[in-house]
Structure 1
């Protein structure tokens, strides 16, 4: 149990032994086990218990911008745009400085089986030490962060269709040695629909943010809207961040952060870093396709039926969620 001070204690409960064994069989790096955390029962590695207090008591600054997402929802893309917009369009630094050094990942969960995981807190320390204005990435839901976060700083929540998230996350969990998923997409979808993927459940994460969408310090973005009309969404970002950029400057941001450019740069595409120790060889790149709707091409009819059943039951179980992801 971790007590975050000004809210209810955060519970971290080990998974049932049978489920734990199943996941350890399918993920080569989950040998130390996973826990369900908080009322949303978010699936995190055991060592996260060392940091639950620190996450819940993290001191955000008034000029911080937090990019919050469920994994594979457009996080890196949004971070890159926001960082450039809030740092005087410094594209030179953006091109030459690794993304995670400029925009720290608050809750990076390293859990390699061959090391003593999570004992240094290096990413948390980096988030604390980066000079303002900080653009902080998190995959944590609101319930695992300070209750006052929206009174302390601005938060951008990016949502993406769960079918596309599932496919992209499958490839990421095969790519990262910290997960080392050994199965195929159908096996991953089965775990997804049972809320047994790292950082899940998806619907709980989405629902927590959706409930706060009218707060003036929260900007809700859809990945699909950014793909459809990026300039319009950049203008919304510009208004929210009060960066005062012209249309020409926003177009420069759009060009800098285009999929082709981000895929081609080691600063944003981890797969281009030579012999990256954290990545499995032969898997899809970290910056993969960035497509919308491709999940329908990857799921068999049986997989689509299972997925749709999960949409109907899961979304209703947590309350209100974006209707565009539950209709059709």
Structure 2
């Protein structure tokens, strides 16, 4: 039986935002936002141990796994929404996330701004030479993208992060059509309003202020939060053009050129117009 909807993406590609949109669109009035990933848009790592609050409704999971027949939930997945983000913008969010998890830094790391020192440039070089192999669960960015978009077992709806952020109403409507989920236009508009970056940042701030475990805050992350770090960050855009050196851009073109040309024409990269 295939009864799951998968929100799939490489880490740091915006799937939390997509999860908020789906939650507020489909469950918001009858649900507590703190239960988003425990009862409504369940992380695949916690499924099937966690149970959906509304088993008769859409069963949505979010996953950072690449596609593969042995991956959790794949055999139960009816459709997938794949969220793709420019690999260099993902790189910058991955750098922020690394610093979020380890606010004290590693021995030998520079403590300046994220693009100011040798530790950052080493990180960039590693990202570009490995194809974005920063997260063990996901594998390299390039292989992750290809695994989902080249397979034919599960129908996939492709959404770019930039389009989702810039045109959330349009993209949400297209997702709902793909999933055959009729939702009134006014409810879709409400979901967009409640799911923006400012709304997510406000929720995170509230959880931190009250030290309440929820969508963002975890006790094991208290040190990071006390140091002023946050999960909801800058929403990096255009990092290929603004943060890479000429040499790094040439390396990015060799590593990610095919994907950048196919999915991000005009946003920087080989073949961009």
* TM-score bucket of the superposed structures, by smaller chain: 0.7 to 0.9
Partner residue in 2 for 1:137: 62
How do 1:139-288 residues align onto structure 2 when only pairs under 5 Å count?
A: 139-143=64-68, 145=70, 149=74, 152-177=77-102, 183=109, 184-195=119-130, 196-198=133-135, 199-212=138-151, 217-266=155-204, 274=211, 276-278=219-221, 280-281=223-224, 282=227, 284-288=229-233
Query: How many aligned positions are there?
Result: 243
C-alpha change, 1:157 and 1:306, in structure 2 (3 Å) is same
For residues 247 and 222 of structure 1, what CA distance do their matches in structure 2 show?
22
User: Are 1:100 and 2:100 counterparts?
Assistant: no
1:238: how far off? 1.8
For residues 145 and 84 of structure 1, what CA distance do their matches in structure 2 show?
31
User: Are 1:292 and 2:237 counterparts?
Assistant: yes
1:228: how far off? 2.3
1:70: how far off? 0.3
Q: Determine if contact 2:100/2:230 at 8 Å carries over to the other structure.
A: yes
C-alpha change, 1:86 and 1:181, in structure 2 (3 Å) is farther
Query: Which string of whole-angstrom CA distances, capped at 9 and with x for unpartnered residues, describes residues 272-319 of structure 1?
Result: 67383236533642110224224533333343333233224x859xxx
Q: CA RMSD in A?
A: 3.4
Partner residue in 2 for 1:50: none
Structure 1: segments with no counterpart, 5+ residues: 1-60, 108-122
Question: Scaled by the length of structure 2, what TM-score is found?
Answer: 0.74
Q: Determine if contact 1:158/1:220 at 8 Å carries over to the other structure.
A: yes
Query: Which string of whole-angstrom CA distances, capped at 9 and with x for unpartnered residues, describes residues 42-64 of structure 1?
Result: xxxxxxxxxxxxxxxxxxx6442
Question: Scaled by the length of structure 1, what TM-score is found?
Answer: 0.63
Structure 2: segments with no counterpart, 5+ residues: 110-118, 212-217
Please, which of 79, 83, 90 is the counterpart of residue 23 of structure 2?
A: 83
Please, which of 251, 260, 267 is the counterpart of residue 306 of structure 1?
A: 251
For residues 229 and 3 of structure 2, what CA distance do their matches in structure 1 show?
36
C-alpha change, 1:257 and 1:91, in structure 2 (3 Å) is farther
Q: Determine if contact 1:68/1:140 at 8 Å carries over to the other structure.
A: yes
1:146: how far off? 5.0
Q: Determine if contact 1:106/1:124 at 8 Å carries over to the other structure.
A: yes
Tell me whether 235-244 or 139-148 shows the greater mean CA deviation: 139-148
